[in-house]
Structure 1
Amino acid sequence: MGTRVSYPVEVKMKAIEMRLAGIPVKQVLEELNIRNHSQLKTWMKWYRNGELHRLEQPVGKQYTFGKGPEYESETAKLQAENRYLKQQIEVFKKVRRVGEEVVPKVVVELVEELKEMMPIGEICRHLGVARSSYYRWKANGNKFTQKDLRDQQIGDLCKLHKFRYGYRKITELLTGISEKTVQRVMQKYGWQCRVKVKKRKRTGQPAHIVPNLLARDFTASKPLERLVTDITYLPFGQSMMYLSSILDLFNGEIIAFTIGFTQDTDFVLDTLNQLPDLPEGCILHSDQGSVYTSYAYQKAVKEKGITMSMSRKGTPADNSPIETFHSSLKSETFYLDDIYRTTNACVINIVEEYIYYYNNIRIKTKLNNQSPVQYRQLAVK
């Protein structure tokens, strides 16, 4: 029998998202390195039935929610339960970095949570700490040192920004604490910036393409000099939705966006028509999607006095700034908060709130730790 493969929840959800977006099964399997199409079929079934909890069950015999697997004996059942607890602890060790630097508070919380299911000594042994150390940490749990207060301050900032900031940005929000200290504390408690989910870029059949004028030079000397645009899927509501947005390369600000249910030419024209008066020589860069190569869109661009630029076919890196924004939007909202199924109104509200946050509050290191709007306002003075 072949070796069983365990896929992370993030991979399963990404596969579901791609299928909902109409991407062929074969392509999903190849891009995410999934062995068998039946696995994808099973995940889609769980998604449609509202059984997302089943995506987290361990490798082995699959079973219906609310019903446990059948075992030959009580001993086999206990062994299976013990294996599952070990898996949970192993995941915990990887996420919280227990083993490199044991965190007393986190260890105490974990033991308190699991002690009804297995002996305290057994839990401590799996975590690689002495049982006496656990009791000592538990007894000292209510005593807070200056380091504890410092760590709490860092943790509060990480949670306030929903773990969207790395240690450099968190350091900028603090006083009298070095970058190395903030980095060490964030690693210690697992407060690092969340890893972004990789995004697949669609490719279309272009009708009328233009040269790539940017050539991956994503710099601009003044506002509205160079713009980039793209469309991304929003498969989180009652029906498939899309986001069309335009980003200013001068400060990374989203200056126009539209949320809709159909990614046709009218959809991107609505975003284009939101643009303010543009300076002479403004460049708008996009991919070779059919909506951007259409006659109506090309005509509207010329009427606005814009010079069009396009990525090479199948090369998302040619339009990476807007790709990165769309990835950040999903990673820092839907994926971060485990929102995979909600109402269309909720999806629209989340996207609008995030874009306001991204433009006005979220600081960027390359903008001297200012938000895009703050950077632009200072630049035009």
Structure 2
Amino acid sequence: TLNISRSGYYEYLQRKPSKRALENEVLRAEIQEIFKEHKGRYGSLRVTKVLEKKGIKVNRKRVGKLMRQMNLYAKGSRYRYKRYNKKSPSIERPNLLNQVFHTDGRNKIWVGDITYIPTQKGTLYLAVFVDMYSRKVSGWSMSTRMKDSLVIDAFLQGYNKEHPPTGLIIHTDQGSQYTSSNFQAILKKYGAVSSVSRKGNPYDNALMESFYKTIKRELIHGAKFTTPEQARKEVFKYIELYYNTKRMHSSLHYLSPIEYEKAYSWEIMDIFEEINKRGTTI
């Protein structure tokens, strides 16, 4: 069944342990004794040093491997949690964009993220949702605490201004603020659909990365805000009085987000006028 010869099997049974296997048995006993003597306080590095003092020269990695095989972990060691996410995959969440940053109309896809703004008297956190079609900041919120209420306020502000249709896709990273039950409940209440980037992959939300790179370069870097209140005022002016209304985008044919949306709406009106003139239907 196993394709092993009878003579080979009996030779295996009579085979003596290898030199390395015998060394490992001795090392296990020494390591166990040292670990017990120091009441579990020593990790592989210190255990290796003790072995050296005893005249046993051995590689630290080998000691660490043997300790893991014996399930010996020093007090306070985080080794067991080092690869936690690989051993315990996160809850399956859909990535509806897959790095396709294009849509054919307003308020179909919003992307969101959080960044921080340093001030001399504390940190201010900024949550933003950007409409993928026009690159307009649809909703935003600021707070000195990075809680789920920060992103909820930003979403509700955008929703109350834009009144998007049911099925709006909200794409974010897997931050706890976005995956929280409170935020997910808000999305469900208003008919929005959650989409998330793959863990540790900033390219899945490149549009938001680009926006924050812009605002940091043009406003935050070198500003040296004294207080969070001062930063709030400057961010408000940048987003509402400059970015949405005046700042030209190369991806929008060098129009501002508001100008681009107006151009889009006029284009649609022209199409309907042409349809009425011809007496045709869509």
TM bucket, shorter chain:
0.5 to 0.7
Shift of 1:339: 2.0
Shift of 1:353: 1.3
> Any gaps of 5 or more consecutive residues in structure 1?
1-202
Q: Does the 8 Å CA contact 2:166/2:191 hold for their aligned counterparts?
A: yes
Cα deviations by residue, 1:144-183 (Å, 9 ceiling, x for unpaired):
xxxxxxxxxxxxxxxxxxxxxxxxxxxxxxxxxxxxxxxx
User: Which of 226, 229, 240 in structure 2 is aligned with 1:342?
Assistant: 226
> Any gaps of 5 or more consecutive residues in structure 2?
1-84, 267-282
Distance in 2 (CA, whole Å) between partners of 1:255 and 1:232 is 16
SS in 1 for 2:113: strand
Shift of 1:342: 1.6
Distance in 1 (CA, whole Å) between partners of 2:229 and 2:89 is 33
- Residue aligning to 1:243: 126
Distance in 2 (CA, whole Å) between partners of 1:300 and 1:341 is 33
- Residue aligning to 1:55: none
The answer to which structure has the higher strand fraction is: 2
Cα deviations by residue, 1:260-297 (Å, 9 ceiling, x for unpaired):
01111111111111113212322110000011111111
SS in 1 for 2:110: strand
Distance in 1 (CA, whole Å) between partners of 2:90 and 2:183 is 12
TM-score (norm 2): 0.59
SS in 2 for 1:339: coil
Q: Does the 8 Å CA contact 1:206/1:290 hold for their aligned counterparts?
A: no
Distance in 1 (CA, whole Å) between partners of 2:98 and 2:199 is 13
Shift of 1:378: 1.5
Q: Does the 8 Å CA contact 1:363/1:370 hold for their aligned counterparts?
A: yes
Task: State the structure with more CA Rg.
Answer: 2
Cα deviations by residue, 1:21-69 (Å, 9 ceiling, x for unpaired):
xxxxxxxxxxxxxxxxxxxxxxxxxxxxxxxxxxxxxxxxxxxxxxxxx
- Residue aligning to 2:105: 222
Shift of 1:334: 2.5
Q: Does the 8 Å CA contact 1:209/1:288 hold for their aligned counterparts?
A: no
Q: How many residues align?
A: 176
Distance in 2 (CA, whole Å) between partners of 1:214 and 1:368 is 23
Matches within 5 A, 1:1-381: 208=91, 210-274=93-157, 275=159, 276-335=162-221, 338-356=222-240, 357-381=242-266
Distance in 2 (CA, whole Å) between partners of 1:249 and 1:206 is 29
Distance in 1 (CA, whole Å) between partners of 2:188 and 2:237 is 32
Distance in 1 (CA, whole Å) between partners of 2:146 and 2:91 is 18
SS in 2 for 1:272: helix
Q: CA RMSD in A?
A: 2.0
Q: Which runs of 4+ in 1 moved over 3 A?
A: 205-209
